[in-house]
């Protein structure tokens, strides 16, 4: 079974929380599986509310994955399109994975990352050196 919850901000951004849960099909009562599904749903809802309260348009799990794309777009190394002067993304929390991805991208490409605390969330900015 899969569950997906999402919320839409006043600016039209969507934040989502999803999970899968294995519920074995056996004869008999489903009460244990129903309780497990209800608990997982409550956990997902709490996580989604936390992400909304933190601010940002991506969560900590996506933030570290988009760092390389920000660096590539800013550096101009791809030569597919003109390089951007800068790229930025608003995240709720900056994880250690995200910080590591920024430092590695800075070493490989001609870019510099900065993180600025906002009223809600953190703005990650990538500029060309």
Catalytic residue ranges: 97
| Cβ contact 98:56 at 8 Å | no
| Cβ contact 63:94 at 8 Å | yes
Q: Which helix (H) or strand (E) holds 115?
A: strand 111-117
């Amino acid at each position: 079974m899969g569950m997906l919850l999402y919320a839409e901000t006043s600016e039209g951004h969507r934040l989502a929380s999803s999970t899968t849960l294995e519920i074995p099909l056996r004869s008999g009562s489903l009460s244990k599986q129903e309780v497990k599904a209800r608990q997982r749903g409550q956990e997902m809802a709490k996580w989604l509310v936390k992400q909304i309260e933190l601010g940002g348009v991506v969560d900590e799990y996506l933030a570290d994955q988009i760092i390389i794309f920000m660096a590539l777009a800013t550096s101009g190394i791809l030569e597919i399109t003109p390089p951007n002067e800068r790229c930025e993304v608003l995240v709720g929390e900056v994880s250690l994975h995200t910080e590591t991805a920024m430092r590695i991208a800075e070493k490989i490409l001609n870019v510099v990352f900065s993180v600025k605390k906002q009223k809600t969330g953190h703005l990650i900015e990538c500029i060309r050196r």
